Amino acid sequence: MKRVVLLGPPGSGKGTQAERLARKLGVPAISTGEMLRGAAAAGTPLGKRVEGIMLQGHLVDDQTMADVVRERLEQDDARQGFLLDGYPRTMPQAETLEAILDAQGTRLEAVVLIEVPEPVLVERALSRRRPDDTDEVIRERLSVYGKDTEPVAGYYRGRGLLQAVDGDQPIDRVTAALLAALGK
Ligand code: AP5
């Protein structure tokens, strides 16, 4: 499978696993969080617009994210496949992704959900200390995940695309479970 979405709450290990899986699948790992942090660090107009939103743990608006993701998926290296980390996070984003892939004459092949109990997520975030990893902001990010992103997981489950993997185990074991879910 070459067109894959990695879903999971903040701190579940999406970024950690995306790089590993992408290497195995021979596709680029595309992290919208990394792209936005890169834009903020570079001080681009996009970065300046989204920096404060990220620091509060809120979601960047769907239209902005549609532009970011469409442009990235149209690049040559993503034409043969991709591992998306952090997108889609809302139902409108799931529809946008479908429209982008439709226009390319392709479709999403698999969605893997990394499940981790909430207390473990909070502990991981607090020990990492990214600027959006304060106690208050991580709780806001978890609440946004429950409200906006869990329905996306439900949608993919209903379409028979979703497989869930236990993310509360050593990193190598999670990688192995994800690869098994993807038939590797
Ligand atoms: P994003 O960067 O996507 O953040 P997130 O979803 O909150 O996820 P994290 O990066 O915190 O966690 P992760 O699941 O990648 O885990 P990681 O591997 O880092 O998004 C940031 C912000 O950007 C959003 O809040 C929003 O504002 C904006 N944004 C991004 N995409 C958007 C979109 N589509 N729409 C709107 N806004 C968007 O691991 C976490 C920690 O745990 C690390 O320290 C790691 O070393 C450790 N760890 C990982 N796996 C394990 C393990 N198995 N055991 C022990 N420790 C582990």
Per-residue model confidence as pLDDT tens digits over 77-131: 999 999 999 999 999 999 999 999 999 999 999 999 999 999 999 999 999 989 9
Q: Give the H/E segment covering residue 99.
A: helix 91-103
- Amino acid 184: pLDDT: 87
For residues 115 and 6, is the Cβ–Cβ distance under 8 A?
no
**Strand extents, DSSP E, the chain:** 3-7, 29-31, 82-85, 110-115, 162-166
Q: pLDDT digit string (tens) for 25-83?
A: 999 999 999 999 999 999 999 999 999 999 999 999 999 999 999 999 999 999 999 99
The response to whether residue 9 sits with its C-beta less than 6 Å from ligand 1 reads: no
With a 6 A CB cut-off, is 54 part of the ligand 1 pocket? yes
| Distance of alpha carbon 167 from alpha carbon 62, whole angstroms | 27
Question: Are residues 31 and 86 in contact, defined by beta-carbon separation less than 8 angstroms?
Answer: yes
Query: Residue 65: CB partners within 8 Å, gap ≥ 6?
Result: 32, 87, 89, 93, 96
What is the distance in A from the centroid of ligand 1 to the CA of 11?
5
Lookup result for tokens 């992103």: 149
- Alpha helices (runs of H) in the chain, residue ranges in sequence order: 14-25, 32-42, 45-55, 62-73, 76-79, 91-103, 118-128, 135-144, 150-158, 171-181
Q: Is 10 in the pocket of ligand 1 (CB under 6 A)?
A: yes
Q: Whose CA is nearest to atom 40 of ligand 1?
A: 11
* 163 alpha carbon – ligand 1 mean position (Å): 19
In the chain, what percentage of residues exceed pLDDT 70?
A: 100
